[in-house]
């Protein structure tokens, strides 16, 4: 028996489902998860020493590859000064200043420990600021596991086909209104049906939790106008897209300014970091400045701050990384599209920047219903074919792939070559 299989059996004796986050359990593709021992650059190494080309990058954070030397050194140097103080540090000030330099329209920013915390806090803040309770999210988008967001969510909820999450109170769920991604008319209908009751619209500006799905040209500007007209707080959930699609994230890429923005993943360089920030008029309601309470023992943790700061500083100082990453991902998209065409397999490859996903269908994939109508069984087969060939894809048809800049064109050719020998 290989070590991963043994460890998964052992893990299931002690951890629910043997994992600390559901999507890792391979429920979306079958089989047992691979237990990773170490990672360097673009490669993961499992407990049996097998190497994989990594197309997940820890679900986004490892944008410059694993064990990125400047980040490792920064962590090692800081750790000898202690790991947490529970008091403010200069590191947090430097991190906040850097985020404000890189991201448009962030007047104030609060550090937290995950993307979930960031989104949960931003929603609470929008509700406190507007004194309204309802909010609009989009089917297939995922904003972490806070109760209010577990309605028609993407990522693990879609992977596990969980429509209603036990434990989420009916009253809570009643305030969560959902529309289809890219359906501006549907959003307008929800607002008209709940006049002056909608506190916020939260959206992944580029969706990554139903595969990678791009906003249609009218979508984000339309949401901005609806929020301006109706006094609704527009929240861009940039946990995936922040610092990944551009230094200034999707706001920079699309030239749209949200009222609040949430971050995770890249911001912590693999350590537990999230953040939310935006307009001063809204952020000033956050305690201790205002009364919208939000707190965290390890928020702004010094080790996490130096890790995140070091990675963001590198991204800020080398903006060409984004064009390099986009060119590599574009190369991969073309290679995959050609491979599937040669195989006679209907497939749509969605991509923006370093986010990409494969959908086995002949039709465009522009929302969750499109993604769910694809051949999921074929994706499962493709996943295992690629895993056998040493290519580590997200173990779900409802996830974006995340490329890292440690990947070489030779690695990309290996991914394309493995796809070319995928037989039904």
CB closer to ligand KE4, 153 vs 335: 153
Per CB under 6 A, 54 contacts ligand KE4: no
Closest CA to 405 of 40, 42, 52: 42
Q: Could you say which of 18, 33, 208, 308 contacts ligand KE4 (CB under 6 A)?
A: 208
Per CB under 6 A, 155 contacts ligand KE4: yes
Closest CA to 303 of 97, 111, 102: 111
Edge-to-edge order in the sheet of strand 355-359:
348-352, 355-359, 401-402
CB 342 within 8 A of CB 420: yes
Separation of first and last alpha carbons in the chain: 27
Site for ligand KE4, residues 116 to 145, rule: CB under 6 A: 116, 119, 142-144
For residue 142, indicate whether it is catalytic: yes
CB of 144 to ligand KE4, least distance (A): 3
Site for ligand KE4, residues 392 to 421, rule: CB under 6 A: 399
CB closer to ligand KE4, 65 vs 270: 270
Q: Could you say which of 140, 249, 264, 308 contacts ligand KE4 (CB under 6 A)?
A: 264
Out of 52, 142, 181, 322, the active site residue is 142
CB closer to ligand KE4, 258 vs 416: 258
DSSP 59: G
CB 135 within 8 A of CB 177: yes
Q: Could you say which of 53, 71, 102, 240 contacts ligand KE4 (CB under 6 A)?
A: 240
CA dihedral 125, 103, 236, 241 (to 10 degrees): -130
**SS3 for 78?**
helix
CB 305 within 8 A of CB 92: yes
For residue 27, indicate whether it is catalytic: no
Beta-ladder partners of 44: 39, 52
Q: Could you say which of 4, 57, 78, 114 contacts ligand KE4 (CB under 6 A)?
A: 114
Interacting residues toward ligand KE4 by CB under 6 A:
21, 23, 59, 114-116, 119, 142-144, 155-156, 204, 208-209, 237, 239-240, 264, 274, 399
- Residues that are catalytic: 142, 237, 265
């Amino acid at each position: 028996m290989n070590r991963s299989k043994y460890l998964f059996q052992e893990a299931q004796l002690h951890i629910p489902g043997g994992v600390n986050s559901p999507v890792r359990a391979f429920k979306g593709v079958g089989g047992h998860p691979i237990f990773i021992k170490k990672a360097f650059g673009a490669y993961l190494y499992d407990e049996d020493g097998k190497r994989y080309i990594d197309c997940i990058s820890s679900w986004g954070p490892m944008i410059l590859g694993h064990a990125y030397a400047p980040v490792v050194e920064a962590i090692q140097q800081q750790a000898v000064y202690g790991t947490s103080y529970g008091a403010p540090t200069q590191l947090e000030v430097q991190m906040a200043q850097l985020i404000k330099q890189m991201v448009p329209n962030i007047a104030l920013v609060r550090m937290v420990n995950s993307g979930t915390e960031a989104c949960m806090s931003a929603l609470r803040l929008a509700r406190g600021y507007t004194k309204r309770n309802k909010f609009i999210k989009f089917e297939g988008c995922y904003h972490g596991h806070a109760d209010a967001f577990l309605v028609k969510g993407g990522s693990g909820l879609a992977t596990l086909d969980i429509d209603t999450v036990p434990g989420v109170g009916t009253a809570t769920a009643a305030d969560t209104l959902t529309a289809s991604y890219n359906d501006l008319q549907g959003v307008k209908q929800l607002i008209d049906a709940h006049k002056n009751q909608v506190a916020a619209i939260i959206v992944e500006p580029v969706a990554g939790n139903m595969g990678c799905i791009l906003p249609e040209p009218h979508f984000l500007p339309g949401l901005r106008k609806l929020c301006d007209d109706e006094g609704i707080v527009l929240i861009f959930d940039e946990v995936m897209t922040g610092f990944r699609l551009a230094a200034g994230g999707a706001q920079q890429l699309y030239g749209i300014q949200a009222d609040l923005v949430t971050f995770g993943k890249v911001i912590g360089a693999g350590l537990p970091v999230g953040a939310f920030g935006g307009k001063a008029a809204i952020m000033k309601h956050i305690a201790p400045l205002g009364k919208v309470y939000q707190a965290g023992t390890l928020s702004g943790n010094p080790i996490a701050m130096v890790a995140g700061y070091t990675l963001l500083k590198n991204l800020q100082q080398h903006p060409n990384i984004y064009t390099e990453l986009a060119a590599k991902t574009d190369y991969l998209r073309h290679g995959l599209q050609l491979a599937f065409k040669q195989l006679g397999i209907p497939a749509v490859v969605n991509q923006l920047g370093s986010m990409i996903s494969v959908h086995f269908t002949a039709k465009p994939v522009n929302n969750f219903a499109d993604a769910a109508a694809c051949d999921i069984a074929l994706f499962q087969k493709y996943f295992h074919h690629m895993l056998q060939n040493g290519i580590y894809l997200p173990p779900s048809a409802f996830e974006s792939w995340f490329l890292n800049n440690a990947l070489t064109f030779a690695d990309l050719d290996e991914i394309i070559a493995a796809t070319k020998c995928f037989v039904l």
